[in-house]
């Protein structure tokens, strides 16, 4: 027991030596930056599965399932990061002191209780199942977001979360309403306009003509280099049979994703397919 205590103490001291700089350094990260990063990553993944759907690599059901999982993961990340950002510098010393006291006590107590390290078991599958059980469902998140908006009806981020939640639940009419409210709060924001266009497309059963077309063109006018806008613009023209115009949009998108090999490959595949259709239509 004495040897164990000495070894544990040395290991704890080494661990604290590594943790100390991070705990004592004042750091602050804003929620908006993390939210933006999460949205960008989710948008890129959405573009990838849209390419796979268009290429026939996945079915519509597989696309819908992948998209639902993607949006649920995004919602989970955004809801978890909604708490106000806190600076860790002021509490770093207290945290370090707490660790220094708590870890040795807990370690010795557990050793005495368990009797031998061999009795400690770790079941990854069980841990994953437990984590999944603790995650809130989409319905629970919906209730939470609605409660949040009742308290702060002008919360733009809350309306965005509400719209994405309705999209996951495939309640597209309510998603349209949420994004319309968000648009009045955020103004002419291309990302919001394109989110609204997506919801309207789903209400229209996949048709991109009419209001979606107007929204997509509006977003591209505001942000000509928007990757999502160029992607949707190409899909719109491809759906209308304007293959040359679709190629024009995707050629521009091609230059924007040149440093992303996987995305570049898929965009080029779409361009090639549209060029074949254009040639066939011309002949």
Domains recognised in the chain with CATH numbers: 1-27+86-123 (no CATH), 28-85+124-282 (1.25.40.10)
Q: Could you tell me what percent of the chain has a pLDDT over 90? A: 40
Residue 225 — pLDDT band, cuts 50, 70, 90? Answer: very high
User: Residue 146's CB: how many other CB atoms inside 10 A?
Assistant: 12
Q: Could you tell me what percent of the chain has a pLDDT over 70? A: 62
Whether the predicted pLDDT of 209 surpasses 80: yes
> What is residue 74's predicted lDDT score, i.e. its pLDDT?
64
> What is residue 63's predicted lDDT score, i.e. its pLDDT?
74
pLDDT digits (tens, 9 = 90+) for 89-138: 445 555 555 555 555 555 555 555 555 444 444 455 555 555 555 556 77
Residue 174 CA to residue 180 CA, distance in Å, equals 10
The three state secondary structure string of the chain is CHHHHHHHHHHHHHHHHHHHHHHHCCCCCCHHHHHHHHHHHHHHHHHHHHHHHHCCCCCHHHHHHHHHHHHHHHHHHHHHCCCCCCCCHHHHHHHHHHHHHHHHHHHHHHHHHHCCHHHCCCCHHHHHHHHHHHCCCHHHHHHHHHHHHHHCCCCHHHHHHHHHHHHHCCCHHHHHHHHHHHHHHHCCCHHHHHHHHHHHHHHCCCCCCCHHHHHHHHHHHHCCCCHHHHHHHHHHHHHHCCHHHHHHHHHHHHHHCCCCHHHHHHHHHHHHHHHHHHHHHHC
Tokens 């939640």 -> residue:
165
Q: What value does the mean pLDDT take over residues 154-162?
A: 91
**Nearest CA-CA partner of 39 in 81, 84, 78:** 78
Residue 72 — pLDDT band, cuts 50, 70, 90? Answer: low
More confident residue, 259 or 63: 259
Whether the predicted pLDDT of 212 surpasses 90: yes
Q: How many CA atoms lie within 13 A of 202 on its CB side?
A: 21
> What is residue 37's predicted lDDT score, i.e. its pLDDT?
62
């Amino acid at each position: 027991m004495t040897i164990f205590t000495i070894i544990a103490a040395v290991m704890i001291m080494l661990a604290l030596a590594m943790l100390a700089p991070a705990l004592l350094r004042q750091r602050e990260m804003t929620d908006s930056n993390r939210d933006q990063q999460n949205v960008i990553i989710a948008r890129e993944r959405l573009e990838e599965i849209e390419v796979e759907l268009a290429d026939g690599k996945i079915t519509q059901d597989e696309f819908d399932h992948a998209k639902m999982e993607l949006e649920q993961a995004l919602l989970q990340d955004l809801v978890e990061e909604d708490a106000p950002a806190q600076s860790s510098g002021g509490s770093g010393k207290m945290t370090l002191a707490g660790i220094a006291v708590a870890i040795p006590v807990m370690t010795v107590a557990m050793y005495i209780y368990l009797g031998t390290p061999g009795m400690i078991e770790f079941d990854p599958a069980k841990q994953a199942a437990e984590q999944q059980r603790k995650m809130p469902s989409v319905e629970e998140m919906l209730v939470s977001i609605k409660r949040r908006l009742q308290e702060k009806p002008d919360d733009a981020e809350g309306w965005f979360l509400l719209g994405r939640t309705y999209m996951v639940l495939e309640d597209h009419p309510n998603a349209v309403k949420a994004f319309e409210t968000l648009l009045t709060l955020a103004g002419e924001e291309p990302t919001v306009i394109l989110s609204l266009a997506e919801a309207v497309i789903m209400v229209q059963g996949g048709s991109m003509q009419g209001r979606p077309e107007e929204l997509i063109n509006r977003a591209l006018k505001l942000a000509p280099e928007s990757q999502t806008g160029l992607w949707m613009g190409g899909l719109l023209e491809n759906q209308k049979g304007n293959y040359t115009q679709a190629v024009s949009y995707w050629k521009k998108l091609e230059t924007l994703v040149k440093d992303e090999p996987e995305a570049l490959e898929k965009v080029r595949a779409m361009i090639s397919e549209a060029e074949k259709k254009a040639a066939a239509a011309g002949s």
